[in-house]
């Protein structure tokens, strides 16, 4: 287990060193791809969370909440398509 932790620490140190070097050289493509991945994961989480809320609203027969959440979900799914 300690070996795995050490390997992870070495990877993280290498990753951070690469990030610093990219920033100092004014080279940001790697940073942008990481940022895009983060945004995509965040959107996926928000979409999943909204779908759960929509299901709960349907179960509780809350039509106004359902409509509001459905509009927000459509907006997020459209944003997800523009990122992809």
Give the count of domains, the chain.
1
Domain containing 53 equals: 2-83
User: Rounded CA gap, 2 and 8, in Å?
Assistant: 10
Q: What is the mean pLDDT of residues 12-36?
A: 65
What's the confidence (pLDDT) of residue 12?
A: 56
Q: What is the mean pLDDT of residues 13-39?
A: 66
* pTM, entire model: 0.49
15: pLDDT strictly greater than 70: no
5: pLDDT strictly greater than 70: no
- Over pLDDT 70: what percentage of the chain? 60
Q: What is the mean pLDDT of residues 67-74?
A: 88
66: pLDDT strictly greater than 70: yes
26 backbone dihedrals φ, ψ, rounded to 5°: 75, 20
User: Rounded CA gap, 46 and 80, in Å?
Assistant: 11
């Amino acid at each position: 287990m300690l070996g795995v932790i050490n390997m992870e620490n070495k990877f993280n140190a290498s990753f951070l060193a690469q990030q610093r070097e990219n920033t100092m050289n004014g080279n940001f493509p790697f940073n942008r791809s990481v940022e895009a991945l983060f945004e995509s994961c965040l959107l996926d989480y928000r979409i999943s969370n909204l779908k759960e809320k929509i299901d709960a609203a349907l179960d509780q027969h809350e039509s106004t909440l359902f409509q509001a959440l459905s509009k927000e979900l459509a907006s997020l799914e459209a944003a997800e398509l523009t990122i992809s």
